[in-house]
Structure 1
Amino acid sequence: MDKPFVKLTFLLIIGILLAFCFDISIEFISLLLGIIVFIFITNVMKNRDNNIIIIFVFIFLGLFITSINKNSSLESLIDQRVDFIGRVSKVVYSDENKGKYMVDIVEADNHRVKEKIMLNIVDGGILELGDCVEFNGVLKFPKENTNPKLFNYRLNLLTHKIYTTMSIKGYSITGIQRENKPIRYRVTQKFTDDINGLFNKYLNPQNSGLISSIILGNSNFLDEEELTLYRDLGLAHILAVSGLHIGIISGCLIFVFSRLGIKRKYNYVITLSIIWFYAILIGYSPSTLRACLMFSILFLSDLVHEPYDSLNTIFISMFILLIFNPFWIFSVSFQLSYIATISIILIKPKITQCLYPYKGKLINSLSSVVAVNIGLLPINAYYFNTLPLLGIIANLISIPILSIALIVGMFMVTFNYLFPFIISILGIVLNLLLNINSMIINFLGDFPFIKLNIFSPDIITILIYYFLLSIILGLIKFNRMEMKIKKFIFCYLLITVLITTIRFNIDDSIEVDFIDVGQGDSILIHTKTSNYLIDTGGSFNEDFDIGKNITMPYLLKNGFNRLDGIIITHFDADHCKGLDAVVENIRVKSIFASYIPEDNRYKLNIIADNNKIVLDKNTILDIIWPKDSMDIDHLSANDKSLVMILSYFNHEILFTGDIEKEVENLLLDSLYPVDILKVAHHGSKTSSTEDFINKIRPKYSIISVGRNNFYNHPNLEVVERLSDSDSIIYRTDEMGQIKIILDRDGIDIIPYVRDRSMDELFNLSIYLLFLLISFVSIKSLNVGKECLRLELY
């Protein structure tokens, strides 16, 4: 079988996907797998063809390994206060006031268990790697994303085989034992401490943080501004230990050992032992393990004089890692690492051909960087929404410098244990290299346009991108296809374009998205010709910026990099604090408000009840409060809120900000029944009076409110009042983002959480697509070990 592990890994992933999508009992899967294996053995004994059976064997293998890892053994303890004993296996971050730790639980509620949890500690109780800790608290399931395309914390933790989280105060820790730590924790901690101490001693703080991040694969050593700059320049991959690091380290070790006269067989064994030990010390991330596995297979094939196939080797390593942890398929680092490497193998030779007759190390490096950027374009767009405009230049200049810096840094670490007197000289050289790199990075960072904000593509866009790329690269060969298939593809594309064009021209519908920003408001109105945002959300918690982490990413990921206007109903933090993040990253034509706050930094257009905002020819936003003739300075911030009615054909939506009953009473005479009400002040008892509700009689009521908020919003009486008026209630705390689609014929309301599509599987769909393209093109490929040696990621 040609490149067998490409096919087998593809089948394994199908099984993982099926198990993740559907709840299938492990007993049923085991039974079917047993039957299939029995048929396989029978066919072998009777010399029958087993191709179909092999397909089912590996699909069911994926089903089996995913199912046995899918559920938490601590699930029965959710929402209960229980005593736990565990050991800290990773310090995610820690400071004087708070910390986040991965803890291997060994005992829960006086029962032996074996499972990781994510433990958050506030107000004391600082833990160290390897600490045995006793504590009590309440287990929770981690949050999923409640807005489309945003970060899914639960899925992220699942890639680490973490199913539950817990947040406690320092006083909930009843005991910490630091003696008799297992040796692996003591060695890992010493290695990390020695590296930090070494570089802090001989390098300036900025250079120390950078080289520590590079060697340890941990970006926590960099400040946020520096980390953002590296990401914007397309250099973030240098901060994750992968093929570049392992290749440099392996190459240096093999060179040194060969010069010492060590035979090749022992040279390879020692080198592999060192890089695997290094992988263990830094936490064996998927990208690190991929690189170590591939280099192990490369060295083994060289020793046994067997032909080496880069593509097949990639899928061997992928197969092994997914058997170990099937949820790594959802890991961003896993996807980026593998797709980057596959891109080098499949795309780089084509680019090199295009650059012929030019050749050399520079051309090889340029070809690799361009190949990776092409292969990862839609993946980077989906996750990070930026296209580094200077990425190729930054990589060509910075990577050679940082590669040399990595070698010098590793020699410093080695000589620190063997020949300390050489360290100071190496420190001077390393400081110089990193200073040069810093000058280059800062110079490139000063360019006015170093990145382009782009939307997160949907699956159709991804399919089209890779399909066209495969044609351009010759991976899909039309000349080998039957005429019927060519006609089908042509007709399908033609019909798709025609339907899309016609639908766009006749579709006059508008969309109103109530973004889930927790305890706050942010509403996006999207028409055919304009985009307006009512409020930006905000946060009273300085540790989590709603604008930066929810509102702005939501807009960018869904393709809104330009707003015709932002309307701030009033300047309470939960309605306006996200304004800075939005304005700094998205082009905004105008900002509207009912008054100017004391700390205003923006040019505001003041509007009142004599104003209308025309969104398009069918959609108008009428301002009905505050009254233009009225002095509102004496009113509370809530009662200064803009009140608006959106009119679209025969549909109306009433937006109320945070007005309270006094303003509601003043507006009674000018109100009439509406289709949809944005419930005032998150359902507070100070708003939504009975007279007000009876006057507008909304068919649907939307409450934008945070989960478990300490205001106890929405008020039970308000909810009952709305229900008694036969209004159907939608709440962001229960349903996440609420999408409203208005067209001439009716209203369609789509809660994201309840009617969630296959969003969780989007990452996997992208990856499966790339594998499929690789699978299709296998017979036309002939690549060797030189591709691996040129690997950059």
Structure 2
Amino acid sequence: MTTWQNYPLIRLLLPFLLGVMYSIYTDASSNMWGWVALLLFFILVLLTRTRLPKNLRLNWIFGLISNSAFFCIAVGLVIWNTTKLQTDYFEQFEEKTEWLIARVSTDPVEKENSFQVKLGIQGVWFDSVFKSASGQVIAYIEKDTAAYFNLCYGQLIAIRPVFKPIQEPKNPSQFNYKKYMRSQGIYTSGYVNADNYIDLNINKGNLLFQYAISIRKKFLSVLKESGVEKSQLGVASALILGQKEHLDSITIQSYASAGAIHVLAVSGLHVGILYLVLDFLMQWLGKWKKGHIIKIILLLLILWFYALLTGLSPSVMRATTMFSFVIIASGVSRKSNIYNTLAASVFFLLIIDPFLLLQVGFQLSYLAVIGIIYLQPKIYRKLHFKSQLLNYIWKISSVSIAAQIATFPLCLLYFHQFPIYFLLSNLAVIPLAGVILILGLSVIVLGVVPFMSGILGFVLNSTIWLLNKAIMLIHFLPCNVIEGVHISGIECLLLYLFIMLIIVTVKKKKLVPLYFSLAVMIGILSLDFLEDVHLKKHNELCFYSANGALALDCISGNEHVLLADSMFYQNDKAMNFLIKNNWHNLDLKPEYFVDFSTNATIENLYFRKYNSMIQFRGCLVYFLFNGNEQMPNKPIDVLYVNDFKSFIMNKDDIRAKHIVFSNDILEWELNKLTDKNFHSLRTGAYIIDVK
């Protein structure tokens, strides 16, 4: 019989995870948590050493104290790993600091006008004195400066303290970059030019990471020289080496809509494929007396060499750590429990960095593995085929279904979409990804042999071409993805509860869990219905902070008109990042786009545009641009200002309830105004409720 006693690490992991989440979301900062954990462990030791009456049942007390201790340990670990709470955090010396001494912690990533790097602060310099300090920052270093000094990982540099706190998102439901960077212990960023930069001509990088970065660059050049064409090189470098810099936006979009984007980020899938291939090839070692030990050592060495090959990226290190625990546990004991093994790897990773729990990749990776381990065998046994080909297709499909069941609520929460043809795409992705990975590694290993390199390179290039064609075919199928799905965190948890109750119903063949699952689904539908009722009643104007472009949403229930510059509207990257998450959050129907530059009168049931004015459900909005000299001779509800000179000229004639200044109006211009009753889109979006 399966009981909780068979899963001791899982029992302890649950309070540990709760402690991590509690500490992160409450910003716990007290040092008392560590002392409380020590006290609880001391009580446990006393209880185990004390002779107590046999009729006194203390199991629940042991459980309560143990769980409380692991909860407190987790809270203490988060506090310990919060860089801003360290006594030597560099911002504490901000007023005195003349120079920051920093080490380049990552390989520079090229942006449009700069190189982005993560810097680890080593110390501060003030009053001709060096003082040790800690912390991390994101620096955008001027391209000419970075190129001149040959910026690279490990380089020690001195920079002026030009860093500012990372800003909150400026638009509703926009991706919270500040929160994302906070989970990595980074709170500030800044632009560094030549005047604020000194190369100290010292390299203090970790030798292993330096070697990992250099070997990855070398192997990328090997792939290029082997004959992999440019159109296939992006996928090859992403799938084999974990480098996404060479991928174009069309490829990324195609893989995402086909439900195959996971293959472009080296993670558990890639490490798992490599592990299965190696495990199969090393079966013969089991015949030797000490063969299983040699097999464990070889598997670990090859997997960690592959991690080194990919530059020791966080996702690869996470996946390799997970499989390392699986390899050791299965090699040491045939009776090892896979769930306890996974729990041990989670403990190990979160003890090193508890903020990993916030990373989407970490969550999806473990959920997918658990889903495959538990659900795949059960799904696979439901159908039997005599044909080996059909059986193989069903085996891959069962893996895809299991992983999708385990991850789709979380994918809806984070990505707001569901790929309809994920089964089709995975039929191509899983086998071809394995072939590409093995071929790619073979090209790298045999790259010194020109004859073999050319042949393998040709086969690799052809295989990637085939994968790309398959993905593009699925991408262009009708209704290939359901977009704009928005669920709350509570709805996500309820979906997981529903899935678990359905699994229990199938396993136990009882109606009680089925009734509960129906109740949960009714709860989810009720929440969705109440949200729809609320949203259909609201009308609002939303002026987005859109990098200087005009973007105004006129929202009426679940319908909306987007009035914007055509150039901005055609910029998919900007639209997705700044605006579309809000549409998903409000469950809006597809937008009706109106180009602001059009002179034609446009009208529907609740919206009318004419000249430089719009009317939305009785709310008048006037747009003051350069060249608009005459204000309307009647009161208006909203004045949008894009030209400060015109505003000053018409200031005495303005009769508006709301004044909104575009991003183009600079802060020093706004400081001239004595009446501060206005809103600048430089500070964020502006939302007006319309009755």
Common topology (TM > 0.5): yes
2:121 equivalent in structure 1: 105
Q: Equivalences for 1:349-428 in 2 at 5 Å?
A: 349-356=377-384, 360-416=391-447, 422-428=452-458
Compute the displacement of 1:151 (Å).
Answer: 1.6
Is 1:121 the counterpart of 2:145? The answer is: no
Which fold has the larger relative contact order, with Cα–Cα distance below 8 Å and residues 6 or more apart in sequence? 1
1:764 equivalent in structure 2: none
Q: Secondary structure at the match of 2:273?
A: helix
2:242 equivalent in structure 1: 217
Identity across aligned pairs (percent)?
A: 20
Compute the displacement of 1:199 (Å).
Answer: 0.7
Root mean square deviation of aligned Cα: 3.8
Q: Equivalences for 1:718-737 in 2 at 5 Å?
A: 718=673, 720-721=674-675, 723=677, 731-734=680-683, 736-737=684-685
User: For residues 20 and 476 of structure 1, do their structure 2 counterparts lie closer, same or farther at Cα, with a shift above 3 Å needed?
Assistant: farther
Are the aligned partners of 1:470 and 1:476 in contact in 2 as well (CA < 8 Å)?
Answer: no
1:452 equivalent in structure 2: 482
1:175 equivalent in structure 2: 199
1:228 equivalent in structure 2: 253
CA distance in 2, matches of 1:499, 1:275: 45
1:533 equivalent in structure 2: 562
User: For residues 285 and 704 of structure 1, do their structure 2 counterparts lie closer, same or farther at Cα, with a shift above 3 Å needed?
Assistant: farther
Q: Secondary structure at the match of 2:444?
A: helix
Match among 11, 27, 33 for residue 7 of structure 1: 11
CA distance in 2, matches of 1:352, 1:251: 18
Are the aligned partners of 2:315 and 2:361 in contact in 1 as well (CA < 8 Å)?
Answer: yes
Compute the displacement of 1:367 (Å).
Answer: 0.6
User: For residues 192 and 39 of structure 1, do their structure 2 counterparts lie closer, same or farther at Cα, with a shift above 3 Å needed?
Assistant: same
Are the aligned partners of 1:29 and 1:63 in contact in 2 as well (CA < 8 Å)?
Answer: yes
1:42 equivalent in structure 2: 46
CA distance in 1, matches of 2:268, 2:527: 45
Is 1:269 the counterpart of 2:297? The answer is: yes
Compute the displacement of 1:308 (Å).
Answer: 2.8
Q: Secondary structure at the match of 1:221?
A: coil
Are the aligned partners of 2:240 and 2:437 in contact in 1 as well (CA < 8 Å)?
Answer: yes
CA distance in 2, matches of 1:424, 1:498: 59
Are the aligned partners of 2:558 and 2:586 in contact in 1 as well (CA < 8 Å)?
Answer: no
1:703 equivalent in structure 2: 660
Letter in 1 for 2:483: N
**TM-score, normalised via structure 2 length:** 0.84
1:777 equivalent in structure 2: none
Is 1:76 the counterpart of 2:30? The answer is: no
Q: Secondary structure at the match of 1:219?
A: coil
1:681 equivalent in structure 2: 642
1:55 equivalent in structure 2: 67
Q: Secondary structure at the match of 1:360?
A: helix
CA distance in 2, matches of 1:716, 1:505: 39
Compute the displacement of 1:403 (Å).
Answer: 0.7
Are the aligned partners of 1:680 and 1:687 in contact in 2 as well (CA < 8 Å)?
Answer: no
Q: Secondary structure at the match of 1:147?
A: coil
Q: Which runs of 5+ in 2 are unaligned?
A: 53-57
Is 1:642 the counterpart of 2:642? The answer is: no
Post-superposition CA distance 1:432-470 (Å, at most 9, x none): 322332333343344354333233322343244333323
Are the aligned partners of 1:659 and 1:681 in contact in 2 as well (CA < 8 Å)?
Answer: yes
Letter in 2 for 1:64: G
Are the aligned partners of 2:640 and 2:662 in contact in 1 as well (CA < 8 Å)?
Answer: no
2:55 equivalent in structure 1: none
2:79 equivalent in structure 1: 67
CA distance in 2, matches of 1:664, 1:445: 51
Q: Secondary structure at the match of 2:667?
A: coil
CA distance in 1, matches of 2:207, 2:535: 69
Are the aligned partners of 1:683 and 1:703 in contact in 2 as well (CA < 8 Å)?
Answer: no
CA distance in 1, matches of 2:153, 2:247: 20
2:221 equivalent in structure 1: 197
Is 1:85 the counterpart of 2:110? The answer is: no
Q: Which runs of 5+ in 1 are unaligned?
A: 572-592, 596-605, 616-620, 627-640, 648-652, 724-728, 744-793
2:177 equivalent in structure 1: 153
Are the aligned partners of 1:661 and 1:689 in contact in 2 as well (CA < 8 Å)?
Answer: no
Are the aligned partners of 1:524 and 1:534 in contact in 2 as well (CA < 8 Å)?
Answer: yes
CA distance in 1, matches of 2:237, 2:525: 51
Match among 623, 639, 655 for residue 621 of structure 2: 655
Q: Secondary structure at the match of 2:335?
A: coil
Is 1:19 the counterpart of 2:11? The answer is: no
Letter in 2 for 1:141: P
Letter in 2 for 1:721: D
Letter in 1 for 2:133: V
1:712 equivalent in structure 2: 667
Q: Secondary structure at the match of 2:323?
A: helix
Q: Report which stretch shifted further, 328-337 or 135-144.
A: 135-144
Letter in 2 for 1:13: L
Are the aligned partners of 1:248 and 1:403 in contact in 2 as well (CA < 8 Å)?
Answer: yes
Are the aligned partners of 2:15 and 2:71 in contact in 1 as well (CA < 8 Å)?
Answer: yes
Compute the displacement of 1:730 (Å).
Answer: 5.1
